[in-house]
Amino acid sequence: MTLDTRHPIPALHAHSGIAEFANSAILLIAFCCCAVAEEAAPPRNYLQDPGFETGAAVWQKVFPEDQAATVALALDRQVKRSGEGSVSVADTAGKVWAFHNWTQHLEEFPKGKWAELSAWVKPEDVRYSAQLALQCWDGAAKKTVGWASTADREKIRGTGDWERHAVRLFVPPTTTMMWVRLGLTGAGKVWFDDVAVTAAEGSLPLASLQIAPGGDALLNGGFEEQHPGLLTHWIPYTPQSQGNKVELTRDAMIFHSGKAAARIMNRDWMNRELNHWGQMVAPAPIGRRVRLEGWVKTQSVEGEVGFLVQCFDGPMHALPRLLAEVSSLQTQKPQGDTDWTKVSTGLSVPPGTMQLWVRAFLKGPGTAWFDDVQLVVE
């Protein structure tokens, strides 16, 4: 803060009570003026065309070209939160597990500081998640040195009215370019308006999942909901080097209830990796006890089958600390051929948990089915 130079503070009469009073009064007035001026000035928004008023020409569309029949990124002059328009991302099929996004690159941004990306978001039948993301690029090292997304902390899904969402990232001093990305993963449609990138102070506080006692924090735990090639809300994980010897699929022939179950089949006798279906719960029910319950069926399994519950203090890409973990193997170890068996495990979600992960896994050869999985928050 600099004092207003039009009102220099007299250095004379240092011992005079009147002069001291006058000095204090001037200081007080100067301080108040500055405080008001600082409060009134909005923080600098580093984006161009943040409200999509000028045709979104500075924004680029990023999506697989071969998906043009089902993916559309458009400027919308009807649906808007303010001004002349907004932009939308729509995917009618959800065929490709990709982040279709509107992007703008910034050469000026808060460097060596925290930056905040915020936007007003309106989802419509979003099956997995819309997200806002910041990406920091180091031109000398030619690599991404920072990444943060609202999806690290929450899924923006379903159908709703305009709501503000934000994400913060500490921008490494070596960053030469920042990408701002507004987009959608999976089927649905989402609009974005009134976007801002500003300097921020510190990370956003962690939120806790608000859920009534006895509520289930998982989505699609019965593996009924799908869109092409995907089990909604579940992500298949398998080491890439295993080729087609590991299959993670939705099985509509063998299930515990409903019309389908999740299946993992491993025909590679050397593969002892954790092949699994994973679901992230964020925000996590911090401080609450959670009980995972699910049904498992096995065929020719020579390894381990079960569920893992893990609590991390950050997103996976940031190499977070594992704060707590529990496995159903501690109580049940289905082996060989077993019919549908209920397994359960649980833990207390520690403070500082940003993401809780539930993993339905198969380690070793064989086939495992999973169905009717719940994460009951006590």
- The nearest distance, CB 337 to Ca ion, in angstroms, is 20
Which residue, 116 or 371, is less far from Ca ion as judged by CB?
A: 371
| Binding of residue 342 to Ca ion (CB under 5 A) | no
Binding region for Ca ion (CB under 5 A) out of 26-34, 110-118, 232-240, 366-374: 366-374
- The nearest distance, CB 231 to Ca ion, in angstroms, is 10
Which residue, 251 or 273, is less far from Ca ion as judged by CB?
A: 251
Question: Does the bond joining 285 to the residue before it have cis omega, within 30 degrees of 0?
Answer: no
Which residue, 180 or 373, is less far from Ca ion as judged by CB?
A: 373
- The nearest distance, CB 150 to Ca ion, in angstroms, is 30
- Give which of 89, 94, 362 is closest to 226, Cα–Cα: 94
Which residue, 163 or 339, is less far from Ca ion as judged by CB?
A: 339
Binding region for Ca ion (CB under 5 A) out of 90-98, 163-171, 270-278, 369-377: 369-377
Binding region for Ca ion (CB under 5 A) out of 120-128, 257-265, 326-334, 357-365: 257-265
- The nearest distance, CB 228 to Ca ion, in angstroms, is 18
- The nearest distance, CB 255 to Ca ion, in angstroms, is 5
Please report where in the chains the tokens 């893992």 appear, as a residue.
308
Quick one: which of 255, 277, 307, 357 contacts Ca ion (CB under 5 A)? 255
- The nearest distance, CB 221 to Ca ion, in angstroms, is 8
8 Å CB contact between 269 and 374: no
Angle at 363 between CA 360 and CA 368, to 5 degrees: 55
Instruction: Please work out the total of residues on this chain that contact Ca ion, with binding judged by CB under 5 A.
Output: 4
| Binding of residue 222 to Ca ion (CB under 5 A) | yes
Binding region for Ca ion (CB under 5 A) out of 54-62, 120-128, 323-331, 365-373: 365-373
Which residue, 62 or 252, is less far from Ca ion as judged by CB?
A: 252
Which residue, 273 or 371, is less far from Ca ion as judged by CB?
A: 371
Please report where in the chains the tokens 């050869």 appear, as a residue.
365
Quick one: which of 43, 258, 287, 350 contacts Ca ion (CB under 5 A)? 258
Quick one: which of 167, 371, 374, 376 contacts Ca ion (CB under 5 A)? 371
Cβ-count burial 253-283 (b if 16+ within 10 Å, e if not): eebbeeebbbbbbbebeebebebbbbbbbbb
Binding region for Ca ion (CB under 5 A) out of 30-38, 207-215, 252-260, 318-326: 252-260
- The nearest distance, CB 343 to Ca ion, in angstroms, is 16
Q: Looking at beta carbons, which residue is closest to Ca ion?
A: 258
- The nearest distance, CB 219 to Ca ion, in angstroms, is 13
- The nearest distance, CB 118 to Ca ion, in angstroms, is 38
Q: Summarize as ranges the residues that interact with Ca ion (CB under 5 A).
A: 222, 255, 258, 371
